[in-house]
Structures are given as structure tokens and as C-alpha cells.
Amino acid sequence: MVRLPMNGSKWCKFLVFILCCVVCPQWLNGDPLSAAPSPCQSSLQGLGDSAAWASQAVKNFAQGQHADAIATVDACFSQWGPQAGHQQKRLHDKGKKCPRTGKVSNKAKAKIQENYLMNDVSMALWAKARSLHALGKDELAKQAYGQCIFMTCGRAWDPKGWFWSPAEDCAEQVQDLL
């Protein structure tokens, strides 16, 4: 039998400490409460995680913080991008029409909002593509524009009261690089 250098209680505490360090390595550098919030989790009640993520990326882009917009999108894309891409592909495969842009009825607005994940991912990709373009990273911008264009049914709400298509804007913007 192997004899442990610590009694059972100390050994358990040691394992918990090691697990915490692996799960939350920022704890090693100070107060766990001072760690930066994850862009993948919403801190606002009523705003879902993917919506908060996309909103932060768009906000960064709008403020000219292009590298931050790209980093925000990259931090969480693997969490929502594939599912949204599959959702988009299913719509294409079934021959379904994408929602209208512009002003829509309340019923149509509710239907568009049901596709929140596709909408959020398309907005995030739009912010990333536009940011890469603004930074002069043309080849990466082309790739991001391509991803954005694939999300043809994603819609973005303009506070002025209408929906627009990030994919359509990406298709226009990429023309400068071709």
C-alpha cells in the first residue's frame, strides 16, 4: 500500500486547489472576483449569452476597437458558430426563404427573433469581417466576409425600427477586396 504524505482531509483540499487552478488559472494571480468577465457570458439580465457576445463585438467595431472586436468574436465563435451554421444550412437545404429586411409586422419580427442564434452569429461575423478589413488584413477579411455571407438568413435589428442583413452588407463590402 502506498502511503500518502498528507492525511485524507489535507489531500482533498489539495486536489480541490489544483482543480481550481486548472479551471480558473487567473485565480493564481490574485482575487478571483477581479478576473475579466468572459465575453461568452452575458452579465445583463434579459440579454442572452450569444446576444451579449455579438453586441460586444459590434460595440467594439463601432468604437474603432477593431482588434478587440476580432478577439471577442474569436473567443466564443466555436461555442455558437457551428450550431448557427447548421441551422442556416438546414434552411437552405429545405428551400426556405430568408426573412424580409426593412420594416416588418410584429408577427414577422417575432419569427425573426426566434432565429436569435443565426442572427447573433451573423452580426458577430459582420463585426469581425469589417474589423479585419479596417485593419488592412485583407485575406483574413475575405475569409470572414465569406463566413458572414453564408449566414444569409441572419438579421440584425436597427434601433430605428427595421431589420437589415449582415450577409448582404458583407457581400457589398468584400467587393473592395476582389
The pTM for the full model equals 0.78
Range of the domain at 161: 49-177
Domain membership flag for residue 30: no
In a domain, 1, yes or no: no
Q: Hey, what amino acid is at 47?
A: L
- Provide the number of structural domains found in the chain: 1
Residue 131 phi, psi dihedral angles, 5° rounding: -70, -45
R_g over Cα of the chain? 21
Looking at residue 102, the DSSP 8-state letter turns out to be B
Residue 54: Cβ within 10 Å count: 30
List the chain pLDDT tens, one digit each, 178 residues.
444 454 555 544 544 444 444 444 443 444 444 456 677 888 887 888 999 999 999 999 999 999 999 999 999 999 999 999 999 999 999 999 999 999 999 999 999 999 999 999 999 999 999 999 999 999 999 999 999 999 999 999 998 999 999 999 999 999 999 9
Distance (Å) of CA 125 to CA 31, 64, 154, 175: 33, 16, 11, 17
Distance of CA 21 to the CA centre of its chain: 26
Residue 39 falls within a domain, yes or no? no
Whether residue 44 lies inside any domain: the answer is: no
Q: How far, in Å, CA of 73 to CA of 147, rounded?
A: 12
Whether 92 maps to a domain, the answer reads yes
